[in-house]
Amino acid sequence: MRQIVTRGIVLSRTDFGEADRILTILTPDHGKLRLVAKGVRRIKSKLAGGIELFSISDLNYIVGKRDLGTLVSARMDIHFGNIIKDITRVQLGYELIKLINKNTEDEPEADYFHILTNAFQALDGDAPPELIQVWAVAQLLKIGGHAPNLQSDTAGAKLDAAAVYNFDPDAMAFAAHSAGRFAANDIKFLRLLFGSDSATQLRNISGLSGHLAATMPLVNLWQQQYIR
């Protein structure tokens, strides 16, 4: 029986039989796994401590003949324990886990693992939840090939720092308008949102709350259009 060692994040846990659980686990190098953790619901189970939510664990599993493997050992490496101290962060953490799970196939890119890891790090710190949410959605849009055009307008002209714009959802680009809702600083913020490796890096941006208020409806619209 072939055993594999990897790192993983638990996306879902389903009780199975008298004491087992079926786990869905996201890894950076072996895609998304479905593993049975035998006896994990028993009090003295050695597996239980290594498959907590909001954690990254070192895993050893046996490859199954079909799509269900067997978890042999699990050791928690990083636990983002501050998340569970705040109900808003817990709820957002669950939402992001479900979003990643729903939008990944059996062999997702390693980028999805890194997005969830960085989101957990931000939730564990002091970054605003609203920032973490829009950053994660922006990263999913980018991976899926649905990032907006943030360099030129619908006419192909370079975006002007002195102009204001509305957004054209059909062209996925901004259109100059005398009464536009989006100023240059809002578009600059969106560039940072899509280009940054971590939401934590953006938490000290000047005027952050204003940028979030202006751009969150737009990011939410993109999520509804392009993310399941």
- Summary count for the chain: helices (H), strands (E): 5, 7
Contact 37, 21 (CB under 8 A): yes
The CA distance from 160 to 148, in Å, is: 16
The CA distance from 42 to 47, in Å, is: 10
> Helix/strand/coil (H, E, C) string of 58-100?
EEEEECCCCCCEEEEEEEEEEECCCHHHCHHHHHHHHHHHHHH
Angle among Cα 107, 71, 17 to the nearest 5 degrees reads: 105
Give the per-residue pLDDT at 179.
Answer: 95
Q: Crossing angle for the helix pair 129-143 and 87-102, nearest 10 degrees?
A: 10
> Could you tell me the mean pLDDT of each successive run of 10 residues in the chain, 228 residues long?
92 94 96 95 91 96 90 96 97 97 90 97 97 98 96 96 96 96 95 96 94 95 92
Give the per-residue pLDDT at 106.
Answer: 80
Give the per-residue pLDDT at 67.
Answer: 86
> From residue 131, how far is each of 2, 11, 136, 147, 194 by CA, in Å?
42, 22, 9, 17, 12
Contact 59, 50 (CB under 8 A): yes
- Polymer length of the chain: 228
> pTM for this one?
0.93
Contact 193, 134 (CB under 8 A): yes
The CA distance from 67 to 216, in Å, is: 38
